[in-house]
Structure 1
Amino acid sequence: MAYAGRLAIIAGGLGGLGSATGKRLRSQGADLVLLYAPFEASRKDTVLESTFGSSNPDGVSAVECDITSEASVAAAFETISSISKSAGAFPSICINAAGYVSVTPLADTTAEEALKNIIPNLLGPFTVSKAFYHLYTTWKDSLTGGASAPPGRIVSIASQAAHVALDGHGPYCASKAGLIGLTKCMANEWGSAGITANTVSPGVALTELGKKAWSEGPVRDKHLADIPTGRFSEPEEIAGVIELLCGDGMGNVNGADLRVDGGFTIR
């Protein structure tokens, strides 16, 4: 299998696009560490059961982590290093799938509400990706006997909101545009270390939350009418693009953003 002997770290791995990506990578042999926020602890076992068929699935570890806290991320990555050693799996993939969105007219958005979008959507991937860089390069530098490291991959989930102005989404749009800019800097500075960094910008994806938010109504109908393909994306489609960017054959795709929005942002 393509990712046997490798460990994929997924921030926001409990539910939504994070779960879909984890399921896909696991099916290709990757061991997984799913980082989940403290407030998600009560549903951890339920999500693992529904995604992987067990609350304690083989090759999958769930680690509590507040991605907005540097100390929490550092502690989580110490645990990840131990998991990697126990599993004999090289930590070579990092997926930033956690995020937050609120919808408020820009003139009515408080600074506090803006930060609820900006901190997890931008600072979170910055902190997690930096910790991953240090873990990956430490493992790479420790190799002996002519062994070579698998390629390092960082893929962060941005959004169509990074490319267009969406009503009521000012801080969210800004945070996702910032994430693309941050990822370009990662690609520039870390490419020489063997790590590529890219983003995927989905449109509406029919996760459980997506289905609830976009199930019916005039706003849904108008948005669908503005998508050339005439439909929203399935989570598995987004996960497929993320997995593509993790592949060994994508080593010269670096600093790119792949839009999976049915063409919404092309016009």
Structure 2
Amino acid sequence: MALDITEILFPMRAAVAAAGERIRDDFANPADVRHKGRIDLVTATDLAVEALLKEQLADILPEATFLAEETASVADMSGLTWIIDPVDGTTNFAHGFPFVCTSVALYDGPTALAGCVYAPILGQFFWAGRGLGAYCHDERIHVSGTAEPIAALVATGFPYAIRENLDEITADLRTMLAETQGIRRPGSAALDLAYVACGRVDAFYEMALNPWDVAAGALLVTEAGGTISSYRPSRPYALGDFRILASNTRLHDAMLTLLGE
């Protein structure tokens, strides 16, 4: 029996809203900030929010498995899977920088069904359902109409493995700084994608992201009329690809050219 996405979205949004309240409560005083990599942080809030989401989402779809950042437990997404980033922008969170969000998506195999990105400190809740459009709170959102790179505001991010990829990162950044209206790096890929979806930025590119970083945001972009692909090489994007480019569609070919396709 096919899922009714509209029935899933209501309790899903409630679970993500509850997670956001925990982030809001902890924001002024993040606890137990630890390193899980050279510059990759985890906090008590990451772990608590992930546990809360897994408990509430399991009640919605007991048959679904989980792919979650702090307790990743499945590699084969052959069926229904909740993909969770409890605190996207943990470094921002640990420093009191407000670009922090929770990202949750529901996939059926490789197909995105629903996604939510909630930035509680900024008071911005984005959500989308497959075939239902994309929204900020209850207002329908759409990508921008910008057609030329020189008029485009572009977001990007830098991977934790920045030393290993520094030459490529700086070469791309040099090109984008010269050929676009400006570059922004808020530090949360899920929020960057949400901002492409609502037209606040015109394009976003990054490398070395995990499925939980982009699963919800990618659906937001496509449901808002945008385009997602890999670059170098250019091909349809699949979760786990090393590079991602999201745009308002009108800019996509030009952005691929700038990125060396």
User: Which has a greater percent of helix?
Assistant: 1
Give your verdict on TM over 0.5: no
Q: Which structure has the larger Rg?
A: 1
TM-score by length of 2: 0.31
Structure ranking higher on relative contact order (CA contacts 8 Å, 6+ apart): 1
